[in-house]
Amino acid sequence: MFIISTYPVAVIFCIITMLCWGSWANTQKIAGKSWRFELFYWDYVIGVVLFSLLSALTLGSHGEGGRSFITDLKQADTDNIIKAIIGGIIFNAANILLSAAISIAGMAVAFPVGIGIALVLGVIVNYFTAPQGNIEYIIIGIILIMAAIITNAIAYKKANRVEKKLSFKGLLISVLAGLLMSLFYRFIASSMDLSNFQHPAIGKMTPYTAVFVFSIGILLSNFIFNSVLIYKPFDGAPTNYAAYFKGKFPVHLTGILGGIIWGIGNSFNLIAAGKAGPAISYGLGQGATMVAAFWGVFIWKEFKQKGAGTGGLITAMFVLFIAGLGMLIYSGI
């Protein structure tokens, strides 16, 4: 299988993750013009599963290092398979909440608040699970990112003074999504042998196999989580599965593309974790917050009704995020 051998390459893979994780929601914004996010989300999950299988059968099955996908899956311990599935279930609950927050409050708010919280808590959880990197620089990076999150929340409040009820709902769902999102990564990371992808321990999985099992957890839990939201949505009128099957092919394809984009980021992040460590790899990947905020502010114009001082706050948010991510990168050198 394909294995990263140096830290700089791992950082590049994490940056690609950042771009993918911060960009997939654009497909939701595009589909959302004529398509409920609950229906979009089914196509998104299908895209995640399809890419995980494709990745496992290609990059995960060819090369001299590690074990091929099928061989690795056969030898995996039940405990490790369950861990990856649990990771998928937790992620799916968090991501559905995040998608709801995007639908209600927009990308420029849902990502900085939800994923920002996930980044801070997730880095802490993953560092103590598998310590790797300079803890002092990691802490400085977390503090800077927390400051960016607070700055974004203030900017959102200034830009939405009239819509207080909608603002509160979007922020609350974003916070809940972030709390859950901070937990999923440690389960999938613990199902792998992060110390040796070349000759992984018996019973542990390679990142390619773990990602596939993780995606199955997402798929299985979606029958419950998303079905509830289809009939009892956070916002708007209920819909149904009949509406999903009436959707046009281009609309379905948009959701599948979103899942593939996110899946690329997820696979690259876990491949990078072997060299960067789970705390740094996860933290850099969740720099997606900044990428999504960029899309929301400059492309989707989600702050076009901004109040006095909002522009400066948005600029400060980006500066703080970039500084925080820089500290995370430096912590692994």
pLDDT computed for residue 307 by the predictor: 58
Whether residue 112 has pLDDT greater than 80? no
pLDDT computed for residue 164 by the predictor: 47
Q: Is 119 within the bounds of a domain?
A: yes
Token look-up 């959880």 returns 125
Whether residue 306 has pLDDT greater than 60? no
DSSP letter string, 10-26: HHHHHHHHHHHHHHTHH
When pLDDT is averaged across residues 313-322 and rounded to a whole number, the result is 87
Q: Is 54 within the bounds of a domain?
A: yes
pLDDT band at 308; cut points 50, 70, 90: low
pLDDT computed for residue 108 by the predictor: 67
Domain hosting residue 152, numbered range: 7-331
For residue range 12-38, what is the model confidence (pLDDT) as tens digits?
999 999 999 989 989 988 998 889 989
Is residue 141 classed exposed, middle or buried when 0-12, 13-18 and 19+ CB atoms within 10 A define those classes? Answer: buried
Residue 205's DSSP bridge partners are 192
Overall number of domains in the chain? 1
Whether residue 295 has pLDDT greater than 90? no
pLDDT computed for residue 53 by the predictor: 97
**Rounded Cα–Cα distance for residues 217 and 8 (Å):** 31
pLDDT computed for residue 33 by the predictor: 80
When pLDDT is averaged across residues 70-90 and rounded to a whole number, the result is 97
When pLDDT is averaged across residues 108-127 and rounded to a whole number, the result is 82
Q: Is 188 within the bounds of a domain?
A: yes
pLDDT computed for residue 312 by the predictor: 85
Residue of 176, 171, 204, 170 whose CA lies nearest to 189: 204
pLDDT computed for residue 152 by the predictor: 74
pLDDT computed for residue 117 by the predictor: 86
Q: Is 1 within the bounds of a domain?
A: no
DSSP letter string, 224-247: HHHHHHHHS-SSS----HHHHHTS
Cβ atoms within 10 Å, residue 317: 26
**Rounded Cα–Cα distance for residues 29 and 305 (Å):** 19
**Which residues lie closer than 8 Å to 63 by C-beta, 6 or more apart?**
1, 2, 3
Residue 192's DSSP bridge partners are 205
When pLDDT is averaged across residues 249-258 and rounded to a whole number, the result is 96
Q: Is 40 within the bounds of a domain?
A: yes
Whether residue 318 has pLDDT greater than 60? yes
pLDDT band at 321; cut points 50, 70, 90: confident
pLDDT band at 220; cut points 50, 70, 90: very high
